[in-house]
Amino acid sequence: MVSQPFSRVKRFIFDIKQELFSTSSVLSTDKDKSAASKESTTEGASKRQEGRAETPKQHLLDIIGNMKVELSYRKKLQQLKANENTKQAMNELEGKPLNPELVKAASAVASSLPRNKKQTESELLAQLRRHEETTDKQKKGGAINIRSVNVILEMTVKRQSPAQRGARISSGISLQLDEDGRRIRPERSSAQSIDSRRYFLRSLWMLTDCYKISFSVSPPTIWDLEFAKEVAAVTAQPPRNGFEEMIQWTKEGILWEFPVDNEVGMEDDAEFHEHIFLEKHLEAFPKEGPIRHFMELVICGLSKNPYLSVKQKVEHIEWFQKYFEEKKELLQEI
């Protein structure tokens, strides 16, 4: 659509303005996690203190209530600990390859933080694992859905048997009077409706058999694909109802596939660290001075931008590199 680029431009402008006029804090999330476990215990303590301040009856009731709360908290804590132990055991035993670089980075971060190194490290590893699982699920799930839909769309052979097709074509070629045409058409339509169901399944199975044979021998050649396209083009009848019209539009690309897949055009296989840690692209720039400062801000903004692919971000940085190299003489005068 024509107006899509305009909104994209606006988003660019917004993002680059943000990058120029804001700062970021990276490590706050890790500290929050380790603090969360301590907060739950303090909440339990405060509840106990409130119960003692009221009248004896309510006091008793509160104590009973708090005991229940305490028990449930204890059970939860025990369960959490048990889960953590099992998770740690699982982490060690599971052969699923977490990127060794990521593991090293996680351990380095954990060791750099002041509190409870083992706990933070295990939590970071669990986060990484969950992240990888979700990305894998999305990739597999999305791929399977699209593949299955495409298979179904391609394999539905629309209606005609070869014999009927031949008859129709011959009638179309030979010049006929209107009366003949009018007579023949309603006949054929009724014949179609009766016999087409029989022939539909038969033609479908015939085609699937043909293609199974051809695929088993070798990867589909160009001639096979051409043949498939020709068959589809000839057997394609005008859509009988709105559903078939929508199917045709989806095949052509006019209509989206539902449920809407937000990531249709984008196939970004890059890991999150390639998006965020862009400093390695800054090696060609001078290490001090206003240009370095400017480029660091650019990188900060790009790392926060979820709408660009890694390639586009790298292109931005390379453009700046070229620009500043061209202006080197001007800069040295200053």
Partner 1 sequence: MAAAVLWWTLRAARQVLPSPCPRQVRSYYVDWRMLRDVKRRKMAYEHADERLRINAIRKNSILPKELQEVADKEIAALPRDSCPVRIRNRCVLTSRPRGVKRRWRLSRIVFRHFADHAQMSGVQRAMW
Interface residue list for partner 1 (CB under 8 A):
2-3, 5-6, 8-10, 12-13, 16-17, 20, 162, 165-166, 169, 172-173, 230-231, 233-234, 236-239, 248, 290-291, 293-294, 297-298, 315-316, 319-320, 323, 327, 330-331, 333-334
CB of 272 to partner 1, least distance (A): 24
Q: State in angstroms the smallest separation of the CB of 17 from partner 1.
A: 8
Q: How far is the CB of 274 from partner 1 (least distance, A)?
A: 20
Contacts 24+ apart (CB under 8 A), 279-283: 281/314, 281/317, 281/318, 282/317
Tokens for 264, please give them. Answer: 């249709």
Kindly state the smallest distance separating residue 19's Cβ from partner 1, in Å. 8
Q: Given the complex with partner 1, which of 169 and 191 has the nearer CB atom?
A: 169
Contact 291, 299 (CB under 8 A): no
Nearer to partner 1, 69 or 207 (CB): 207
CB 334 → partner 1: shortest distance, Å? 5
Q: Is 294 exposed, middle or buried (0-12, 13-18, 19+ CB in 10 A)?
A: middle
Of 287, 289, 282, 290, the closest CA to residue 321 belongs to 282
Q: Which residue, 84, 89, 74, is CA-closest to 116? A: 84
Residue nearer to partner 1 on the CB measure, 134 or 208: 208
Residue type, 87: K
Residue closer to partner 1 by CB (options 13, 108) is 13
Q: In the complex with partner 1, which residue's Cβ is closer, 10 or 68? A: 10
Phi-psi region of 97 (alpha: psi -120 to 50; beta: other; left: phi over 0): beta
Q: Smallest distance, Å, CB 149 to partner 1? A: 21
The closest of 315, 296, 317, 312 to 20, measured between CA atoms, is 296
Whichever of 5 and 186 has its CB closer to partner 1, that residue is 5
Question: Which is nearest to 251 in space by CA: 129, 131, 155?
Answer: 155
